[in-house]
Structure 1
Amino acid sequence: MRRTAHKPTLTVLAAVAVTLLSGCGDTGVVTSPTPTANRECQRLTNDEVDTLAADHLTGPDETAIAGLQSCVWHTKDNSTAVTVTHVDASVWATKLPALLDQVEKGGLAKNEKTQEQLANVRGVLEAGGSMDAATACQMFSTLLEMQGQPAGTTRSVFFYPTKAHPQAMTGQACENGVFTNVSVARPDLKGTTEEGHRVLAALISAAGSDGSVNG
């Protein structure tokens, strides 16, 4: 059973892309979007994108957000945007050193076992090694567990920077060796449960997975 934790501009979406599970972070890097026919950009229909945005968006364009190939839809003034990232989890794992920095700064590694596990992961990655997709998804779940989510959580939905004052909302999953991120930045976000449920529905659609969801 899969568990889910419920927790404007491309710059904001880059921030949530690299923040991922930690809730605080960097602005990331966004390359100039270019029109694309990439099949990965068909993981959400235009109707699903417009529902998330509460507006009609143009796209999809292909871009790199925080170094991960992504698809973006946006308004002409870029005040509202939706992004989808769907990559092998081993590729997502290359971003783990920055995540581990955030975890350590946030004091989330509170016990010796977790600290040792994170140190081992950092050692492998900093030595130029790689992490296979299955192990990367295990680390995804571990990072969620460190934030108080149940063991085995594979999906997360949260508002950025806070639910009280949201600029963006994002849903992320790491399942079957694949990392998926669906984010939306809108100037009119309220931080409501209904908004979170919309992102979760889009995340499930983009990830191409079904099943029970708790949380």
Structure 2
Amino acid sequence: MTRRAAAAVLAAGLMLAACGGGGDSEAGDPTPSASATAQPSLDPKEPACSFLTAADRKRLVGSAIDEVVATSGTDRSTQCRWQAASALVQVTTLPAEEWAKTLPQVVAQLEQSGDLTSATDKKELARAKKLLSKASSFSGDQACDAFTTLAELGGAKPGATTTITAVPISEAEAGISAQMCTAGEMTSLIYSVPGLKKTKATDAAVTKALAAAQTRALAAR
């Protein structure tokens, strides 16, 4: 698979993971807004709200960010979003096999979109379609293996269990989206502050926060 095709499949699948695996679409939308800030927490006891401590969030953002502005949860996934002024932190976690179920659909959508136009891309996308055709029946460990394979093919280091990408949060602001898949659990973290740029330092800070959330998510299973 070419890096472009692999990266496209992984990125699209991870955006679904960041939104809670197809749960509440409003709670999955990471765009900061004044109306969201004014709303009370839907459920401050949502499990994901305990996956990052106040100290974790302050270390990541640089100041306190303690107000829960949105939560979303199902019997298979959990999500919590904190917001302060224009800063945003969101954590979502779900079983990796639930994320894997989205991959055949992602491949089909990319195939229909026409975004991958070269002969090589089309050939490799067809390989991805075949490779992931049974993703709906993957175990958690198999799903994390697929995550690692797609990450590697997209340019990550061998054995990668974490991906970090820059994402648009609004027309004016960018954010960082990071995902980790280990022991059959997929955890996603979205982080944004004014003027945020993707650097080695921000990558390291996001990775540390994500690892802390993943540890607690695994312990809560």
TM bracket (short chain): 0.5 to 0.7
TM-score for the superposition, normalised by structure 2: 0.65
Q: CA separation in 2, counterparts of 1:147 and 1:166?
A: 25
Q: Higher relative contact order by CA 8 Å / sep ≥ 6: 1 or 2? A: 1
How many residue pairs get aligned? The number is: 181
Deviation readout 1:42-87 (Å, 9 max, x if unpaired): 11101211222233221274226xx953111112x5x221011121
What is the root-mean-square deviation of aligned Cα atoms in Å? 3.7
For residues 201 and 82 of structure 1, what CA distance do their matches in structure 2 show?
Answer: 14
Q: Which is greater in Rg?
A: 2
The share of aligned pairs that are identical, in percent, is 23
- Partner of residue 119 from structure 1, selected from 130, 152, 157: 130
Q: Is the 8 A contact 2:164 2:176 kept in 1?
A: yes
Residues 25-36 of structure 1 aligned to structure 2 (within 5 Å): 29-31=25-27, 34-36=42-44
Unaligned runs of 5+ in 2: 1-11, 19-23, 28-35, 217-221
User: 1:140 and 2:147 equivalent?
Assistant: yes
- Give the 3-state SS of the residue equivalent to 1:34 in structure 2: coil
TM-score, reference length from structure 1: 0.67
- 42-51 or 53-62: which moved more? 53-62
- 1:35–1:62: 8 Å Cα contact kept in structure 2? yes
Which residue of 166, 191, 212 corresponds with 1:205?
Answer: 212
Tell me the secondary structure at the aligned position of residue 35 of structure 1: coil
Measure the CA separation in 1 of the matches of 2:183 and 2:140: 8
Aligned counterparts of 2:158 and 2:116: Cα–Cα separation in 1: 20
Alignment partners' CA distance in 2, 1:201 and 1:89: 20
- Corresponding letter in the other structure for 2:60: L
**Which of 81, 84, 88 is the matching residue for 1:72?**
81
Pair 1:48-2:56 in alignment: yes
Residues 72 and 82 in structure 1, CA contact (< 8 A), matched pair in contact too: yes
Cα deviation, residue 149, structure 1: 2.1
Q: Deviation of residue 173 (structure 1)? A: 0.9
Amino acid at match of 1:143: L
Shift of the 60–100 alpha-carbon distance from structure 1 to 2, 3 Å rule, reads same
Aligned equivalents of 1:200, 1:107: Cα separation in 2: 34
Q: 1:59 aligns with which of 68, 90, 100?
A: 68
Which protein has the bigger strand share?
Answer: 1
Larger helix share, 1 or 2 = 2
- Aligned pair 1:39/2:39, yes or no? no
